[in-house]
């Protein structure tokens, strides 16, 4: 599935950084791969960005942050971005881009197969949950200010409604099934993948209600870290501290290395 692996300048002397091209449902999709210099196998991390198109695009700084915690990181741009083929559809068919990126980590000789994790930020939250459903050997799933319910996103984000109607293909009232398939909470009751949700309670982009709904539906299956004074983007020092704590939590989770 890996078609191209092109080395690009890395801001960290102990981390190799690449732009990769891989196949997802027949489409060429691009993303970042960050590999710490290490002699042994490392945990893998699937970093799932938020936003759509250039809004919320993956930043090298964020990929390097996670790789600095000792993960081999793949961060898809999603289809149609940065020269990739196809078009994003907001956790519709583009979810395959996350699944296939997981498979790349699973097939890598540098990655521990029972230590592959997904981290979804903002819209990436629902992508991470969908990955937990389709790849049950995921060791853990972490949502950081993550979307869990697309009906709620449509209700809350008036500024996104035009985009959502265009990309998803209508409103929740007219096509509820299209929003339901992007809202995986009911199906997650059958999942054994450990879930951690990190959320700023002042978040105006993805409300804390997204995490509450996930937590309430799964009845104790979710571990929640809530921060009453933070919004969508955490202060830099706090963000780094919490990121390290989340990385340590992930590394304590393991899974059966079978798809």
What is the tens place of the pLDDT at every residue in 6-39? Answer: 999 999 999 999 999 999 999 999 999 999 998 8
Q: Is 229 a catalytic residue?
A: no
Q: What is the mean pLDDT of the segment spanning 127-134? A: 98
- The pLDDT of residue 30 is 98
From the number of C-beta atoms within 10 Å of its C-beta (0-12, 13-18, 19+), residue 190 rates as exposed
Q: Which residue among 122, 140, 183, 255 is the active-site one?
A: 122
- The burial of 211, by beta-carbon neighbours within 10 Å (0-12 exposed, 13-18 middle, 19 or more buried), is given as buried
163 CB contacts (<8 Å, ≥6 apart)?
Answer: 52, 90
Q: Are 52 and 167 within 8 A, CB to CB?
A: yes
Respond yes or no: is residue 122 known to be catalytic.
yes
d(CA 239, CA 235): 6
Tokens of 231: 């919004």
- Given 12, 137, 231, 232, the catalytic residue: 232
Contacts of 231 (CB under 8 A, 6+ apart): 200, 202, 203, 204, 205
Q: Which residues contact 212 (CB under 8 A, 6 or more apart)?
A: none
Of the chain, the percentage scoring pLDDT greater than 90 comes to 95
Let me know: does 24 contact 37? Beta carbons within 8 Å. no
What digits encode the pLDDT tens for the residues 137-178? 999 999 999 999 999 999 999 999 999 999 999 999 999 999
Could you tell me the pLDDT band of residue 259, with boundaries at 50, 70 and 90?
very low
- What pLDDT, in 10s, does the model give residues 71-115? 999 999 999 999 999 999 999 999 999 999 999 999 999 999 999
Beta partners for 15?
Answer: 36
Structural domains in the chain, CATH included, are 2-251 (3.40.50.1820)
């Amino acid at each position: 599935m890996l078609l191209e692996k092109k080395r690009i300048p890395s801001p960290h002397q102990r981390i190799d950084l690449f732009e990769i091209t891989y196949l997802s449902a027949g489409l060429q999709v691009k993303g970042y791969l960050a590999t710490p210099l290490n002699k042994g196998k490392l945990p893998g991390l699937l970093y799932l960005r938020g936003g759509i198109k250039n809004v919320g695009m993956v930043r090298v700084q964020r990929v390097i942050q996670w790789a600095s915690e000792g993960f081999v990181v793949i961060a898809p741009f999603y289809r149609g971005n940065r020269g990739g083929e196809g078009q994003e559809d907001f956790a519709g068919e583009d979810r395959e881009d996350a699944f296939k990126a997981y498979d790349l980590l699973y097939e890598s000789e540098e990655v521990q197969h029972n230590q592959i994790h997904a981290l979804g930020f903002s819209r990436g939250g629902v992508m991470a949950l969908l990955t937990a459903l389709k790849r049950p050997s995921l060791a853990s799933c972490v949502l950081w200010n993550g979307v869990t319910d697309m009906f709620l996103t449509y209700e809350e984000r008036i500024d996104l409604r035009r985009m959502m109607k265009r990309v998803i293909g209508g409103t929740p009232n007219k096509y509820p099934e299209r929003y339901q398939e992007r809202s995986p909470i009911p199906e997650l009751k059958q999942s054994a993948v450990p879930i951690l949700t990190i959320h700023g309670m002042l978040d105006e982009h993805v409300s804390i209600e997204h995490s509450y709904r996930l937590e309430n539906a799964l009845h104790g299956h979710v571990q929640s870290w809530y921060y009453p004074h933070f919004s969508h983007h955490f202060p830099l020092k706090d963000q780094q501290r919490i990121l390290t704590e989340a990385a340590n939590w992930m590394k304590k989770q393991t899974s059966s290395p079978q798809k």
